[in-house]
Amino acid sequence: MKPLISNKIYEDGPVHAPEIQMSRFKKTMSWPRSIKYLDIAPVVRFIHGCIRTCCPLVCILLFACNSVLGEIKNGYEKNIEQTKVSLTYLQNLLKNTDLSAFKRRKVEASIQILVNYISYYELTENLLSQYQIIAPQLFSEIDTITDRLGRPVDVYVKFVPIDATEVKAWGITQLSQMENDKDAYVSEYGPFTVSIKVWIVSRALLVLSHEFGHVKYQVPNLASYLEFHRMHYWDNGMSTFIGHNPNDPSGQSANHFGNIFRRTYWKFLKTGNDKAQTPSVLLAKIKGV
């Protein structure tokens, strides 16, 4: 909040006091002219006192409201609007008959990249919605997750092609800690964020649930878990075994979340709901294949 620069009150002094002694009618008519002679300093002091009292309360309320803003987010959403604008531009450019064959091929290749990005965004939106419908309780636990200090953490999810990750695993949850805050999670999306990538496979929702289980444990226990992690996974950062030591509490949480999702999905189908479409089928429909 910027400090007030000046609160000066200008008065003409008591020499004009007789002018205030008027009839009720005259006072009403001349109010705009006479108000400058009133002493408003007490009013200003009262308002200042209210500000000093209320501002901390307002800040507390704002922080409390902000504390519920952590949520599960589509990992493609950050650039989606600009991607759509760029796609429209290139599609219009392709209509230009003056383009050389070489430039046309470059434009077409760029269009394909943008179409793929938008398709993966829409697929991720669809699968996240499916997960929320099938297992709303599990979804809510991650959608409202906070770290050890009660700070909200956003969880970004991407469903990606199999060849899009260096670590060859169905699901990957990035584990990283802020340099100056041992309890704060950080990812490529910034402070207080987690990054999850899941391969576009038939069991993608089950894999996502498994990764959510990792997040469920790691976010509120980041500092202590990293100590465990350094002791047990010091050899190879690319190993698919990481996170699945028999005594790993994060791995146990991941397995627990996966098992709950299996049971929840079975009940979901048993109550007459349709089976979720596989990601490959959804992606084909999105691309219009």
How far is residue 224 CA from its own chain's centroid? 25
Beta bridge pairs of residue 74: 157
The whole-number pLDDT of residue 4 equals 31
d(CA 284, CA 210): 25
3-state secondary structure of 33: helix
User: How many other β-carbons are positioned within 10 Å of the β-carbon of residue 145?
Assistant: 22
Q: What is the CA radius of gyration of the chain?
A: 30
Beta bridge pairs of residue 198: 159, 171
Predicted TM-score (pTM) of this structure: 0.74
User: Domain residues of the chain, as ranges?
Assistant: 14-66, 72-287
The whole-number pLDDT of residue 14 equals 38
Contact 75, 156 (CB under 8 A): yes
> Over its length of 289 residues, how does the chain's per-residue pLDDT go in tens digits?
333 333 332 333 333 333 333 333 333 334 444 434 444 455 445 544 544 544 444 443 344 444 456 799 999 999 999 999 999 999 998 887 788 889 889 999 999 999 999 999 999 999 999 999 999 999 999 999 999 999 999 999 999 999 888 887 899 999 899 999 999 999 999 999 999 999 999 999 999 999 999 999 999 999 999 988 888 776 555 455 676 677 889 999 999 999 999 999 999 999 989 988 899 999 999 988 6
d(CA 80, CA 114): 9
The whole-number pLDDT of residue 67 equals 44
Helix, strand and coil percent figures for the chain, each rounded to 5: 55, 10, 30
Kindly give the pairing relationship between strand 181-187 and strand 190-191: antiparallel
The whole-number pLDDT of residue 57 equals 43
d(CA 150, CA 183): 10
What φ, ψ does residue 277 adopt, rounded to 5°? -70, 145
d(CA 191, CA 183): 11
d(CA 265, CA 275): 9
How far is residue 66 CA from its own chain's centroid? 12
